């Protein structure tokens, strides 16, 4: 199947509009714990699964009621002030109240979500900038005009989301469902340079946590690791030769290798300033002894893309993507 065919959005085949369910009236939720995707090696097959692009950004919930618009991170932090363009467009949607679930991204020149560009737009980890460039790809609708939709099947929620975003092509966009075989779609997504795909059970309600209703299948592995030190270099960008990384082990932090690519001069310079403020006198991870390393307290979490693991359990072909915000509540990788 050509890549263009695999990435084409699915037509809506179910009857919509007049057949909206008779729902109970429900109070507007302060927060809804997010449904999370479970990592799988292969895409599932069969008509029970719907497929979407896996966007590389920050997971957000957009709440709108009579008071106004709020934007809540996956960890429950209020980031309304950081996404003014998303707030402005949410205020114009044709509904009195709703909760959108989606991913804030900044697209590169090829139309792919780029986590590093989003971090730059926000001013880096702990930055104070407003990401006017960011857009929201909405993939679920959890509440609408006084009704809790989480008990409904995904296919029904999607129909209502498509109605709400009908014709929208600005800052808030529909994360389109793709009509394709899962394996073929994954191959096309990888060929296009995307991070991966998401598979969702069409008949499942919205359930918090990693229960298996949503699956993520990655082209390139990407996980969150703690920075425990760096090798200074006068020849490298920003003075950082390599970052030393660790994950959570059974007996504390476990060293998982290093990363020396993926930086820009700007990101490396800013990162070194942050690292030099949290230096440590000894290695934070067990079993480490190395000369010429500046050890740091394990306070900064980095998103790292990599191609797999070596035989001695170190990252293979690692590349730095950016720092994770505490508010994003990304899970630090657990070794073993």
Instruction: Give residues with Cβ within 8 angstroms of 301, minimum separation 6.
Output: 224, 225, 226, 227, 323, 324, 330, 332
DSSP assigned state of 67: S
118 CB neighbour count, 10 Å cutoff: 22
State how far the Cα of 210 lies from the Cα of 4, in Å rounded to an integer: 31
Contacts 24+ apart (CB under 8 A), 19-22: 20/160, 21/152, 21/156
How far is CA 278 from its chain centroid? 27
* Paired strand residues for 296: 279
What is the spatial distance between Cα 62 and Cα 73, in angstroms, rounded to a whole number? 9
Three-state DSSP at 172 gives strand
Bridge partners of 252, per DSSP, are 249
The strand ranges marked E within 178-318 are: 196-201, 214-218, 221-232, 240-249, 252-259, 294-295, 301-306, 308-309, 315-316
What residues are annotated to the active site? 54
**Contact predicate 124/270, CB 8 Å:** yes
Look up residue 279 and give its two tokens. 């230096």
Closest CA to 52 of 194, 171, 165, 166: 194
Q: What CA–CA distance (Å, rounded) separates 23 from 41? A: 38
Q: Where are the alpha helices (DSSP H) in the chain?
A: 3-6, 84-90, 115-122, 154-164, 182-192, 265-276
């Amino acid at each position: 199947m050509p890549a263009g065919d695999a990435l084409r959005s699915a037509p809506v085949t179910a009857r919509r509009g007049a057949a909206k369910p008779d729902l109970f009236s429900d109070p507007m939720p302060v927060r809804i714990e997010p449904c999370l995707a479970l990592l799988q090696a292969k895409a599932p097959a069969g008509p029970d699964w719907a497929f979407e692009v896996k966007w590389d950004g920050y997971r957000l919930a957009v709440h709108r009621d009579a008071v106004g618009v709020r934007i809540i991170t996956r960890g429950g932090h209020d980031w309304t002030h950081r996404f003014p363009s998303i707030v402005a467009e949410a205020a114009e949607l044709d509904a009195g109240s709703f909760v959108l679930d989606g991913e804030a991204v900044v697209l590169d020149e090829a139309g792919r979500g780029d986590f590093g560009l989003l971090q730059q737009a926000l001013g880096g980890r702990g930055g104070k900038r407003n990401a006017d460039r960011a857009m929201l790809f909405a993939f679920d609708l959890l509440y609408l005009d006084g009704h809790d939709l989480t008990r409904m099947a995904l296919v029904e929620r999607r129909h209502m989301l498509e109605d709400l975003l009908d014709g929208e092509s600005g800052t808030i966009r529909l994360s389109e469902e793709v009509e394709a075989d899962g394996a073929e779609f994954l191959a096309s997504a990888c060929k296009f340079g995307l991070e991966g795909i998401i598979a969702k059970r069409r008949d499942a309600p919205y359930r918090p946590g990693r229960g298996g209703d949503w699956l993520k299948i990655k082209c390139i592995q990407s996980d969150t690791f703690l920075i425990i030190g760096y090798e200074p270099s006068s020849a490298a960008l920003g003075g950082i030769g390599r970052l030393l990384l660790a994950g959570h082990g059974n007996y504390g932090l476990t060293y998982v290798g290093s990363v020396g690519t993926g930086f820009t001069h700007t990101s490396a310079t800013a990162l070194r300033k942050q690292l030099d403020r949290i230096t440590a006198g000894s290695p934070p991870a067990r079993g480490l002894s190395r000369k010429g390393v500046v050890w740091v307290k394990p306070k900064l979490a980095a998103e790292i893309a990599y191609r797999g693991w070596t035989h001695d359990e170190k990252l293979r072909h690692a590349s730095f993507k950016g720092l994770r915000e505490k508010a994003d509540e990304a899970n630090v990788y657990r070794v073993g």
